[in-house]
Amino acid sequence: MKILFFGDSITDADRNKTPNATPSNHMGQGYASLIHAKLGKEYPEKNYTFCNKGIGGDRLSELYARLERDVVLEKPDLVSIFVGINDCGFYSVWGLDVDVQRFKKLYHNMIHEIRSFLPDVKFMICEPTFYPAGSRKDDETHIGDMLPPVRQAVREVAEEQGIPFVALQDKFTALCEKGNPEYWLWDGIHPSLSGHQLIADEWISVFLENF
């Protein structure tokens, strides 16, 4: 099974994007690399292969624009999608709200488009997260207010498409509320290594339940 991670900087995690990157460097320093390591160690007989196609700063529209190059041509068996926070960040800079219905429709369209090329492909969808911490402790751009309807739209897409959903916000919130939220999300958006481990653990749990 070839597993492809598709997303923004949280997926990218400083991966090496050069063609001659080693497999470990290509996977970056985040949850995708941790999943690669864990599944590879525990299930060598499964012959899992992994591909990281995260790009920092991407919104859903950027993922959609590059789906043929970065997903279809890779011919994965499973696509894991993690996107949404930059859609909030982009509009918050201009004092605008995310068009949630448009976001949801585009998410549906992206999945349909990938399936039109790869009819047997499987999906997983990850929940975007935020907690006021670090440089975003005061949340002056109101990302925390904008993200809940986007998260709900992501969840609804997963439900309506019958796609396994990796719920993350409640896990991060519970841990951050215990104190020192930067331990988990160093700037309110990007996970620390421990935060990436949390994502990897939740992802693997959902994966093993469904595939």
Q: What is the pLDDT of residue 172?
A: 98
Lowest-pLDDT range of 67-76, 88-97, 174-183:
88-97
This prediction has a pTM of 0.94
| Nearest C-alpha neighbor of 139 from the set 193, 84, 85 | 85
Q: What is the pLDDT of residue 140?
A: 64
The residues that are catalytic are: 9, 187, 190
Instruction: Indicate the number of domains in the chain.
Output: 1
Higher confidence at residue 208 or residue 138?
Answer: 208
Higher confidence at residue 143 or residue 123?
Answer: 123
CATH of the domain at 52: 3.40.50.1110
Q: Given strand 78-82, what is the order of strands in its sheet?
A: 49-54, 2-7, 78-82, 122-126, 165-166
Domain of 17, in residue numbers: 2-210
